[in-house]
C-alpha cells in the first residue's frame, strides 16, 4: 500500500527530536491534499500510515513533551491511528493513544496512558492523562481535567474548570462543568454537576438530577429523577437532613425534591420517609 505521509527534514524549532510530516496522498475527511505539510512527530510509530488519521497544524505527537534528541526513550510511543485527527496546537505524548474518529485540537493535552477514541473530542485547554479514557461521542473541553482511571462515555460533556478523576464515570448525556469535582462514583443519564459541587466515593447521580452550589455527595448515596440540590448541602451516610436551626427530617431521595438550604446536611441512600422542601 502506498505511504500516506513522509517525515521531512523540517525540524521543530524548539525540539530537536520532532520533524514535520508531509502528505503523500489526499486525505479528504480533513481537506488535506498531497504535498500539504502537517504537524510534528518523532517517528512513524506516532502516526499510522493506514486509514485517514492525520496530525496537522503545529500539533506535536512524541514520546515525551519537550525532550530533545539526546534524551529519547524508545519505550514511550504515543500513537494516532484509525481516522483520528490531532491538530491546532494540541500535544499527545507519553503512551497516549488517539484512534477511531477521535479528534484532539486547540491547546489540548493527552498524555500518560490516556486513550481518546470512538468519536470523542478533546479541545480547548483540556487535559486527559494518567489512565483516563474518553470515548464514544463524549467531549472534554475548556480547562477541564480528566485523569487517573476515570472514564467519560456516551454523549457526556466535561467542561469549564471541572475535575474528573480517581475512578469516576461520567456517561450518557451527563454534564460536569463549572468548578465541579467528580472523584468517584457515577454521573449518568441527563444529570448535571456544576458550580462547586463535589461527587465522591460510590455515589450515583442519574436521571435529570442537578447537583450544584457547594453540595458534597459521597458514600453510597443514589440520586435520580428530577432532584435539584444546591446551597451548601452535604449528602453522606445517615439518611437525614439537618438545618442550621436544629430541625431534623428524613427524606426520600427518589422524589422530585428541591433542596436549597444554606447549611443543609443530607445523608445516605435509604428511603425512610417523604420530605417536601420549598
Please indicate, yes or no, if residue 66 is contained in any of the structural domains: yes
Residue 13: partners with Cβ closer than 8 Å, 6 or more residues away: none
Domain total in the chain: 1
Residue 100: CATH number of its domain: 2.160.10
State residue 75's pLDDT score.
Answer: 62
Query: In this structure, is residue 51 part of a structural domain?
Result: yes
The residue range of the domain holding 111 is 1-129
**What's the pLDDT score for residue 236?**
67
Beta bridge partners of 61: 41, 92
Q: In this predicted structure, what is the pLDDT of residue 224?
A: 73
- The pLDDT value given to residue 72: 44
The average confidence (pLDDT) of the chain is 84
Q: Is residue 113 part of a domain?
A: yes
Is the pLDDT at 154 greater than 90, yes or no? yes
**Is 10 inside any structural domain?**
yes
Give the pLDDT confidence score for residue 59 in this predicted structure. 97
Percent of the chain scoring above 70 in pLDDT: 78
Does residue 272 sit within a domain?
no
pLDDT at residue 229 tops 70: yes
Question: Over 212-245, what HEC string results?
Answer: CCCCEECCCCEECCCCEECCCCEEECCCEEECCC
Question: Is residue 206 pLDDT above 80, yes or no?
Answer: yes
pLDDT in tens, 238-267: 444 333 333 333 444 444 444 544 444 454
234 pLDDT higher than 80: no
Q: Which is higher by pLDDT, 224 or 126?
A: 126
Closest CA to 132 of 95, 159, 187, 160: 95
Segment 132-156 shows an average pLDDT of 98
| pLDDT at 253 (0 to 100) | 46
Report the pLDDT value the prediction gives residue 237, as an integer from 0 to 100. Answer: 55
Instruction: Provide the pLDDT for residue 71.
Output: 46
pLDDT tens, residue by residue, 51-106 = 999 999 999 999 865 444 444 455 678 999 999 999 999 999 999 999 999 999 99
User: At 44, is the pLDDT very low, low, confident or very high (cuts 50, 70, 90)?
Assistant: very high
Q: pTM value?
A: 0.86
Which pLDDT score, from 0 to 100, does residue 13 have?
93
With respect to residue 176, please indicate whether it lies within any of the assigned structural domains. Answer: no
Q: Rank 64-68, 126-130, 220-224 by mean pLDDT and report only the highest.
A: 126-130
Nearest to 276 by CA among 261, 260, 256, 254: 256
Query: Of the candidates 72, 65, 90, which has an alpha carbon nearest to the alpha carbon of residue 80?
Result: 90
Any domain includes 125: yes
Residue 216 forms part of a structural domain: no
Average pLDDT in the 135-150 region?
A: 98
Per residue in 163-193, pLDDT (tens digit) is 999 999 999 999 999 999 999 889 999 999 9
Amino acid at each position: 500500500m502506498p505511504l500516506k505521509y513522509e517525515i521531512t527534514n523540517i525540524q521543530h524549532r524548539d525540539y530537536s527530536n520532532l520533524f514535520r510530516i508531509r502528505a503523500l496522498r489526499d486525505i479528504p475527511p480533513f481537506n488535506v491534499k498531497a504535498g500539504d505539510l502537517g504537524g510534528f512527530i518523532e517517528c512513524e510509530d506516532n502516526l499510522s500510515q493506514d486509514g485517514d488519521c492525520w496530525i496537522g497544524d503545529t500539533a506535536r505527537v512524541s514520546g515525551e513533551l519537550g525532550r530533545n534528541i539526546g534524551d529519547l526513550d524508545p519505550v514511550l510511543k504515543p500513537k494516532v491511528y484509525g481516522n483520528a485527527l490531532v491538530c491546532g496546537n494540541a500535544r499527545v505524548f507519553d503512551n497516549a493513544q488517539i484512534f477511531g474518529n477521535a479528534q484532539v485540537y486547540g491547546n489540548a493535552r493527552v498524555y500518560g496512558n490516556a486513550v481518546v477514541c470512538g468519536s470523542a473530542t478533546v479541545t480547548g485547554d483540556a487535559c486527559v492523562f494518567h489512565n483516563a479514557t474518553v470515548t464514544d461521542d463524549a467531549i472534554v473541553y475548556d480547562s477541564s481535567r480528566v485523569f487517573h482511571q476515570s472514564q467519560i462515555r456516551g454523549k457526556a460533556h466535561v467542561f469549564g474548570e471541572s475535575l474528573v478523576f480517581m475512578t469516576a464515570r461520567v456517561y450518557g448525556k451527563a454534564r460536569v462543568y463549572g468548578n465541579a469535582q467528580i472523584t468517584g462514583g457515577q454521573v449518568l443519564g441527563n444529570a448535571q454537576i456544576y458550580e462547586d459541587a463535589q461527587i465522591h466515593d460510590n455515589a450515583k447521580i442519574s436521571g435529570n438530577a442537578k447537583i450544584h452550589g457547594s453540595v458534597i455527595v459521597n458514600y453510597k448515596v443514589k440520586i435520580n429523577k428530577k432532584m435539584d440540590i444546591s446551597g451548601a448541602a452535604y449528602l453522606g451516610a445517615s439518611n437525614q437532613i439537618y438545618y442550621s436551626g436544629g430541625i431534623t427530617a428524613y427524606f426520600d431521595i427518589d422524589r422530585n425534591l428541591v433542596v436549597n438550604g444554606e447549611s443543609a446536611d443530607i445523608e445516605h441512600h435509604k428511603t425512610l420517609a417523604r420530605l417536601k422542601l420549598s
